[in-house]
Chains A and B, each alone.
Chain A
Amino acid sequence: MKISRLIVGAGLLALSLMSAAREAAPPVEIPESDTIIWRNTLHQDPTTITATLNDVRKLIQWSQTHGDLRALGRADALLLQSGNTNVESRILRAIINQRQHRFAEAAAVLRGVLAESPDHAQANFTLYSIALVQGDFALARTTCQRLQTLGFALIAQSCLHNLLGLEGEAEQAFLGLDAVVQSPPPHTPQERAWAAGTLAELAAAIDHPHTERYYRQALQLAPDDHYSAAGLAQWYLQHNQAEAALAALADRPRTDRLDLLRLIAMRKIPNIRSDSLYRQLKQRFESASQRDASLHLHERARFELDVEQRPEEALKLAEANYRQQKERADFQLLQRARQQAGMQQ
């Protein structure tokens, strides 16, 4: 009996080894000679880019706004070529690592920078956002308070209230930040826009009836803030306003998160075909996870939960994502996946 089990087991092992996944190349086409096969949508003429820190910053900003990882890879390559190891270069490297979800590496670099220059605003700021993602609220608070002493009063108030909200006092955090925003300390337009975005997020967290208005105010101050646009679309979806969600995402980039929200909205609107977007997203996630399984976890979990209706798969991905990043949206997704997976059992 034992021997036959062993034989069957060994046979199965052999079969599983033989049926390893096959990767077929897609078919090749030869177009007509004059067919236009590519259009230049590059953001910058590559020949004009030099290995200066300013170019690296521009590329990171482009990548941030447009979700373009090619620009981030170019920024990293330029930084390497520049050979700089000064404070500014190290901070830019930390930001690039942060964008690639290498949070521990980024935090280590920033801690090193802050040990030398504790009052460096950008280093404090970036470390605050990394600490937040890692769920290290004590470090987030320290860096945030340091920003207060450096003169970034509105930013400091925003991040302190955001932390309060994350620690379970969302209503108090909303009311507190709302009061600050009504009569704000001296600030730049960008700082005002960021405070407005945080306030809108807190409003959504407590399901404030005027959440839409807060998001609209934030987007008026920073029209390219796709993160807030995604927050607004999400709020519309939660309140069964799929058309409004779709409209909130109009003319914004084709990032995975925004496209996923578009797909979820389209599936709720009668007479709108979403098959093509569904196939595209599915292919994108498959090909992205082949490259790097640690990226796109949030979006893949949400895709499994809200599109494929597979809560158990979604839960595995949402748990893996939460081990990596612990923002409000990550926690909410994990809770929903747990709830739905529990309901299914």
Chain B
Amino acid sequence: MKIWQAIFLTMTLCGTLQAHEASTSYLYWHSSMPQSLRLDLSLTDVMMHLSDAPPETLSWRVLQQQARQFGDRIAAGISVEMDSPCLLEARLHGLTEYVDERFSVWQLNWHCTGNGPLAPHPRLDYQLLYAQDTLHRAVLSVQSDSWPKSSRVTVLDPNTEPVTLASRWRWATTASLLMVIVLGTLSCLLLIRDMPRKDAQ
């Protein structure tokens, strides 16, 4: 029995105390800006996984100075394609807060060949940080302000297939509204059919 085993043995039996510090990023896509995405990535993740040498303290100025390097690493972990892969760049936009953690906010823009009215919806393949932290997850919010308004949230994990950046709700909502119209028309027709019978009585 090696010493580490004895120590480890005891540690693993001390019950589980779950904490909240699992690494999570947040992605926001909006139909009004179809070729861009907002990425909120915690500063801890940026410094732990994208920095070569994390400093003791980080100022906003230093983060801005290193933003291009971090942006390139972010862009390497995220890909968007339409007919073919798009060119993606990540720019530091500011900071924000989630629960009790500070996050960096990045604006991701992409340029694709073959843009046009018949171009397919962009497909997002998120692989950022999975190689460094298998528990990392991205919470993707897809919103549409065009009628009918809709939103959906998807949690991306290492096994998630590339996600289409368009609202599924839109089609479901349209279908249900069509159903209402059809049923309304049908009920009117039935009411009209019943009316002469009442007159006859």
User: With contacts A67-B17, A129-B13, A194-B13 known, is A287 near B183, CB below 8 A?
Assistant: no
Inter-chain contact B177/A14, CB cutoff 8 Å: yes
Main secondary structure of the interface of B (DSSP, over half): mixed
Choose one: A7, A27, A36, A76; the contact of B183 (CB below 8 Å): A7
User: With contacts A61-B8, A72-B135, A77-B131 known, is A288 near B20, CB below 8 A?
Assistant: yes
Choose one: A28, A60, A227; the contact of B105 (CB below 8 Å): A28
Inter-chain contact B100/A287, CB cutoff 8 Å: no
Which residue of B is nearest A15, CB measured? B176
Identify which of B58-66, B67-75, B80-88, B112-120 touches chain A: B58-66
User: With contacts A33-B59, A253-B19, A284-B20 known, is A20 near B99, CB below 8 A?
Assistant: no
Taking residues whose C-beta sits less than 8 angstroms from the other chain, chain A's interface range is 35 or more
Asked if B196 is an interface residue, CB under 8 A from chain A, the answer is no
Contact residues in A for B94 (Cβ distance below 8 Å): 28-30
B contact residues, total (Cβ < 8 Å): 83
Contact residues in A for B26 (Cβ distance below 8 Å): 25
Most A CB atoms within 10 A — which of B13, B48, B100?
Answer: B13
Give the complex CA separation of A150 and B131 in angstroms.
Answer: 38
Inter-chain contact B48/A46, CB cutoff 8 Å: yes
Inter-chain contact A70/B149, CB cutoff 8 Å: no
A144 to chain B, nearest CB (A): 11
Contact residues in B for A100 (Cβ distance below 8 Å): 135
Which residue of A is nearest B96, CB measured? A26
Q: Enumerate A1-53 residues with CB–CB distance to B below 8 Å.
A: 3-4, 6-7, 10-11, 13-14, 17-18, 20-23, 25-40, 42, 45-47
Most A CB atoms within 10 A — which of B22, B26, B43?
Answer: B22
Give the complex CA separation of A194 and B10 in angstroms.
Answer: 6
Inter-chain contact B133/A99, CB cutoff 8 Å: no
Residues of B that sit less than 8 Å from A by CB: 1, 4-24, 26, 28, 38, 40, 43-44, 47-49, 52-61, 63-64, 93-100, 102, 105, 130-137, 139, 141, 143, 148-153, 155, 169, 172-173, 176-177, 179-180, 183-184, 186-187, 190
List the 8 shortest-distance A-B pairs measured between CB atoms, nearest first: A67-B19, A73-B135, A73-B133, A190-B10, A69-B22, A23-B141, A28-B94, A227-B15
